[in-house]
Amino acid sequence: MVARTWSGRRTALKVGAQAVGAKLTGKEPLSLGEALIARMRHSLDALGADLWLSAPMTGLVEEDGRVTGVRITRNGREVTVRATGGVVLASGGFSHDQRLREKHLPSPTSTEWSSAAEGQTGDALEPAVALGAATDLMDKVWGAPSVVPPEGRPFFLVADRGVPGMVIVNAAGERYANEAAPYHEFVDAMYAHDRPGASTVPSWLILDATSRARYIFMGLFPGQAFPKPWLDSGFVKKAATVEELAARIDVAPERLRATVDRFNGFARAGRDEDFHRGDSVYDRYYGDPTLPHPNLAPLEKGPYYAIPVHPGDIGTKGGLVTDATARVLREDGTPIDGLYASGNVSSAVMGETYPGPGATIGPAMTFSWLAVDDIARTRSAEAR
């Protein structure tokens, strides 16, 4: 809200001053997940533990029905690491393995749409499955509606879908969901409404000049022009009228015009009768508090823009089934002795829901702790 409220301006000045101060002092402050990982790395160092980077796991070692270690490729050679208490698989899922995506996820799907860490290729998942581990939720992702600019790095649309003066339509030029819905739910809606002649993969995000001038969008400041390569490549479509824009995205002009007119009527009335955009506190959080309705404003000033939206993700959601102490379970519900899992390699404890940011890292930390605690308790009992 840097261009809309004094609170937004004060916050922008504060963040800007912090950035300038960091530059002048040579400091590199960390925030969010980076700050969390930095603190955990510091604790690991204080304990004298080793951290092996670029050392992928290639397999599990099993002896007499118990997992006793892992095989790892390190510095070009295979190393076997023995684990006397147990092995905790605390990795990501398979977002960056196209083969596994096509095997398990709804179609179409692509690694190019994923904002997950590049190493999430299922290398910890498949060895456990080979030992008989059960899996669940393999067709689900932590959904993140995304756009993919020419440079190839997905941009995850969070607040961008809550701004007024914007709609998202399918290939027939029709709205099909509440654009401001939680990102996980919106990706589910993209697949649920995909059909021949009205594809939602990709969808088209349409916004007008007023919204572009008022709000931060895809990391660009209010009024900041879209980068020339985005326009030249056709990633961002631009037109003087709604009808011209429709032609650029191969949508019937009268259909897109009707959709925009219907939405504009809802915006002026202050209620989205079709999809209830702005009815929830979540929707309004990302809206404009200076307007009568934070999420609704008519699209009526050119130029108009269209950008393709894909059903991206921040990680896959399915994986190994575990119990309350993070032990990996077989199909019959019995634990695989010595094998534990947490994080996106395990089936999400949240099930098919997503309460909000932290729903991945929080359980990953918790179940990692539960796993190691169970190992410690088991070893203590065996010592007695």
Pair 299, 264: CB distance under 8 Å: yes
Cα separation, 151 vs 256, in Å, equals 29
* Superfamily classification of domain 52-139+317-383: FAD/NAD(P)-binding domain (3.50.50.60)
Structure tokens at 225: 């022009």
Structure tokens at 126: 């498949």
- Give how far Cα 272 sits from Cα of 267, 298, 368, Å: 7, 12, 44
Q: Which long-range contacts (CB under 8 A, 24 or more apart) does 32-36 make?
A: 33/361, 36/361
Do 52-139+317-383 and 144-313 agree at the fold level? no
Burial of 263 from C-beta contacts in 10 A (0-12 / 13-18 / 19+): buried
pLDDT digits (tens), the chain, 384 positions: 888 889 999 999 998 999 899 989 998 888 888 999 999 999 999 999 999 999 999 999 999 989 999 999 999 999 999 998 999 999 899 999 999 999 999 999 999 999 999 889 999 999 999 999 999 999 999 999 999 999 889 999 999 999 999 999 999 999 999 999 999 999 999 999 999 999 999 999 999 999 999 999 999 999 999 999 999 999 999 999 999 999 999 999 999 999 999 999 999 999 999 999 999 999 999 999 999 999 999 999 999 999 999 999 999 999 999 999 999 999 999 999 999 999 999 999 999 988 888 889 999 999 999 999 999 998 888 877
Statement: the pTM of the whole predicted model exceeds 0.85: yes
Cα separation, 182 vs 145, in Å, equals 10
| Sequence spans of domains, the chain | 1-39, 52-139+317-383, 144-313
Structure tokens at 196: 């021949």
**In CATH, what class is 144-313?**
alpha beta
